[in-house]
């Protein structure tokens, strides 16, 4: 029984290793980072081969602890991978804001180092501006806080950016703002 538990726990740990690697690899792949993706793919597949060979060794149907270790390791690894990817916050996002408070909003965003492009538009209740902000993903929480502080009613959409060329994105070394 102790060997079965140890085996199941080892499989769990292996899955806890390869699944987060898979999550981070996928995010890097979407951003087109070939070499880190290749390295992580080698690590991930090597760990997976060891894990699956442990699951399939012996009579797996008589050792459900192996299947449980595999499944629970996969689920836990998925959550851990999502947390790691969130902490790393690779890449950039584009945030679109529709607001009638564009003057105050642009001033606050500029003050905090975000570049803003504003386009006048017509909303349901009259004139509004559509603001476009491309920002480092690790700064998106601050960006969203700034927007909601000035205009809690602003309509906001955001999505991942696979590539951004030129513009006002990177933090300025002296002010923490963009340049």
pLDDT at 151 over 80: yes
- 91/82 Cα distance (integer angstroms): 15
| Average pLDDT of the residues in 22-43 | 91
pLDDT at 121 over 80: yes
Please, is 173 exposed, middle or buried when counting C-beta atoms within 10 Å of its C-beta (0-12, 13-18, 19+)? exposed
- 28/5 Cα distance (integer angstroms): 35
Name the strand (E) or helix (H) holding 49.
Answer: helix 34-56
Residues contacting residue 133 through CB under 8 Å, at least 6 positions apart: 94, 95, 96, 97, 109, 114, 115, 116, 117, 143
pLDDT of residue 171: 55
DSSP string, 117-154: EEEEEEETTEEEEEEEEEEEGGGHHHHHHHHHHH-TT-
pLDDT digits (tens, 9 = 90+) for 36-94: 999 999 999 999 999 988 888 877 666 788 889 999 999 999 999 999 988 888 788 99
Average model confidence (pLDDT) across the chain: 87
- 172/179 Cα distance (integer angstroms): 5
Q: Is the pTM of this model over 0.75?
A: no
Q: Which two tokens stand for residue 103?
A: 């003057």
pLDDT at 130 over 70: yes
User: What single-letter DSSP state applies at residue 171?
Assistant: B
pLDDT of residue 174: 42
Q: How confident is the model at residue 161 (pLDDT cuts 50, 70, 90)?
A: confident
| Average pLDDT of the residues in 133-162 | 92
pLDDT of residue 167: 75
User: What backbone phi and psi angles, to 5 degrees, belong to 125?
Assistant: -105, 15
């Amino acid at each position: 029984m102790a060997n079965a538990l140890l085996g199941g726990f080892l499989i769990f740990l292996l899955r806890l290793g390869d699944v987060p690697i898979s999550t981070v690899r996928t995010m890097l792949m979407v951003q087109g980072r070939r070499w880190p993706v290749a390295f992580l793919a080698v690590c991930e597949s090597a760990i997976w081969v060891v894990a699956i060979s442990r699951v399939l060794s012996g009579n797996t149907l008589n050792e459900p602890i192996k299947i449980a270790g595999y499944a629970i390791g996969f689920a836990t690894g998925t959550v851990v991978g999502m947390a790691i990817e969130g902490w790393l916050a690779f890449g950039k996002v584009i945030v679109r804001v529709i607001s009638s408070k564009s003057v105050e909003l642009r001033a606050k965003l500029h003050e905090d180092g975000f570049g803003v492009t504003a386009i006048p538009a017509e909303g349901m209740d009259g004139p509004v501006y559509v603001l476009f902000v491309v920002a480092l993903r690790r700064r998106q929480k601050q960006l969203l806080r700034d927007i909601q502080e000035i205009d809690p009613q602003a309509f906001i959409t955001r999505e991942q950016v696979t590539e951004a060329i030129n513009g006002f994105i990177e933090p300025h070394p002296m002010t923490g703002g963009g340049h």
